[in-house]
Chains A and B, each alone.
Chain A
Amino acid sequence: MAAEATLSAAASADTGAATRRLKHVAGKVGIYAALVTWAFVSLFPVYWTITTSMKVAKDVQLGHLIPWVDFQPNWLGWRSLGLSPDTIGQVSTVRDEFLDRFLNSIYTAFGASFLAVLIGSLAAYGLSRFQYKFLWMKNQDLSFFFLSQLILPPVVLALPFLVLYRELALLDSIIGLVLLYTLTVLPIVIWIMKDQFDTIPIELDEAAQVDGLGPWGTFFRIILPMALPGMVAAFILSLILCWNEYFFAALLTGSEAKTLPVMVASQTGSQGINWWSMAALSTAAIAPLVVVGVLLERYIIRGLTAGSVKG
Chain B
Amino acid sequence: MALTESPSYGAVSRRRRDGGRALIAAATVLFFAVGLLQALNSAGVLPLGLKDWRPTLYAYLLWAVALGAGMVMMRGEAGLKALFILPAALFTAAMAIFPTLFGLSIAFTDWNLASFTGQKFNGIDNLLQLVRDPFYWNAMRNMVIYVLFVFVEYAIAFGLALLLNAEIRARKFWRVVFLIPLMLSPVAVSWMVGKSMLEYRFGPVARFARWLGVNNPSFFTDPWVARLWIEAMDAWVSIPFVMILLLAGLQAMPKEVIEAAKVDGASPWQRFWQVIFPLMLPVSITAIVLRIIFKLKLADIIITVTSGGPGGATDSVSSFIYREYRDRSNVGYGTMLAMFYLVLIVIFVTLLLKFLRKYMQRMT
Contact = CB atoms under 8 A, between A and B. Distances in A.
B184 to A, nearest CB: 5
A46 B339 CA distance: 38
A286 B2 contact: no
A192 interface: no
Given A153-B318, A293-B182, 17 more contacts: A48-B197, A49-B188, A119-B91, A131-B6, A146-B92, A155-B318, A156-B342, A158-B322, A164-B102, A167-B53, A182-B91, A215-B80, A246-B187, A269-B304, A290-B184, A305-B245, A305-B248
A119 B87 contact: yes
A4 B190 CA distance: 44
Interface in A276-307: 278-279, 282, 285-286, 289-290, 292-294, 297, 300-301, 304-305
A169 B77 contact: no
A142 B244 CA distance: 28
Interface in B172-186: 172, 174-186
Interface string B121-152: 00000000000000000000000000000000
Nearest to B7: A133
A70 to B, nearest CB: 13
A155 B103 CA distance: 11
Contacts of B5: 130-133
- Which of B180, B245, B341 has the most CB atoms of chain A within a 10 A radius of its CB? B180
A308 B304 contact: no
A250 B88 contact: no
Contacts of A132: 3-5, 81-82, 85
Interface residues of A, number: 97
A138 B212 CA distance: 61
B81 A35 contact: no
B263 interface: no
B183 A169 contact: no
A125 B106 CA distance: 37
B334 interface: yes
Interface of A: 31-32, 34-35, 38-39, 41-43, 45-46, 48-49, 52, 60-61, 63, 65, 119-120, 122-123, 125-127, 130-135, 142, 145-146, 149-164, 167-169, 179-180, 182-183, 186, 190, 214-216, 219, 240, 243-244, 246-247, 250-251, 260-262, 264-265, 268-269, 275, 278-279, 282, 285-286, 289-290, 292-294, 297, 300-301, 304-305, 308-311
Interface stretch (B15-23, B29-37, B216-224, B295-303): B295-303
11 contacts: A45-B236, A48-B204, A122-B85, A123-B89, A151-B345, A153-B345, A159-B106, A293-B176, A297-B179, A305-B248, A310-B282
B276 interface: no
A309 B331 contact: no
A164 B91 CA distance: 15
Contacts of A182: 91, 95
A203 B20 CA distance: 32
A311 B252 contact: yes
A119 B88 contact: yes
Interface in B247-286: 248-249, 251-252, 282-283, 286
A161 B99 contact: yes
B63 to A, nearest CB: 16
Interface in B40-90: 51-54, 57, 77, 80-85, 87-89
A38 B178 CA distance: 7
A159 B190 contact: no
Contact of A160 (B91, B106, B249): B106
A167 B322 contact: no
Contact of B100 (A65, A120, A157): A157
B188 to A, nearest CB: 5
B174 A160 contact: no
A286 B184 contact: yes
B241 interface: yes
Nearest to A50: B192
B185 A123 contact: no
Contacts of B12: none
